[in-house]
């Protein structure tokens, strides 16, 4: 029986990281991984086809974290003319399932896979079980996400705070 492989991507205005994973090897051991300069491509579909052809691997499903607001599985990448559309990707690459979420929403989910050695404490304190969490990351823009404790696990939400003006006053 052929192993089912999964594609993961972090699609940004500056760079795009694409990787193929096997459940047996886990998230820390990709079968293929390439970082692309996003501006070198007119369309994400061309980049993705190049990556998959070069990797020589057939994937079953894909998940993408994208820089920009996502509405019903569709997003326009911040600072690029690219449209990322889950349905189009599913059809064009014959995938069983494609998920497109905001990149910081995806990052927030990824935090739970980090080990203590991979984390840096900025302000010492005691963790409060079930307390809300925030994720803020500068990149092409300022990405923001938050996590809420729901039904025994954290759930991530995109805030799109990076697409608003920030004008504090006192």
Last residue of a domain, one of 102, 119, 147: 102
Phi, psi of 18 (to 5 degrees): -125, 135
The radius of gyration of the chain from alpha carbons, rounded to an integer in Å, stands at: 17
Quick: pLDDT tens for 16-60. 999 999 999 988 899 999 999 999 999 999 999 999 999 999 999
Residue range of the domain that includes 10: 6-102
Model confidence at 1: pLDDT above 60: no
Regarding whether 41 and 80 lie in a shared domain, the answer is yes
Terminal-residue alpha carbon distance, the chain: 64
Q: Are 74 and 85 in contact (CB under 8 A)?
A: yes
Q: Average of pLDDT values for 53-82?
A: 94
Quick: pLDDT tens for 95-110. 999 999 999 999 999 9
Model confidence at 161: pLDDT above 80: no
Q: Are 74 and 47 in contact (CB under 8 A)?
A: no
Looking at the structure of the chain, the number of domains it has is 2
Regarding whether 130 and 55 lie in a shared domain, the answer is no
Last residue of a domain, one of 61, 78, 102: 102
What is this structure's pTM? 0.88
Any domain includes 114: yes
């Amino acid at each position: 029986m052929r192993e089912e492989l999964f594609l993961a991507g972090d699609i940004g205005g500056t760079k795009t990281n694409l990787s193929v994973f096997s459940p047996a090897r886990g998230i820390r051991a990709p079968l293929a991984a390439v970082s692309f300069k996003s501006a070198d491509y007119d369309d994400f579909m061309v980049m993705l086809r190049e990556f998959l052809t070069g990797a020589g691997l057939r994937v079953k499903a894909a998940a993408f974290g994208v820089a920009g607001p996502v509405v019903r599985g569709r997003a326009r990448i911040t600072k690029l003319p690219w449209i990322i559309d889950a349905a189009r990707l599913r059809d064009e690459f014959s995938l069983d399932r494609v998920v497109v979420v905001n990149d910081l929403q995806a990052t927030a989910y990824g935090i739970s896979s980090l080990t203590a050695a991979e984390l840096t404490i900025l302000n010492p304190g005691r963790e409060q079980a079930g307390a809300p969490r925030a994720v803020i990351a500068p990149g092409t823009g300022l990405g923001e996400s938050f996590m809420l404790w729901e039904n025994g696990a954290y759930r991530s939400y995109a805030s799109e705070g990076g697409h608003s003006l920030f004008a504090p006053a006192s």
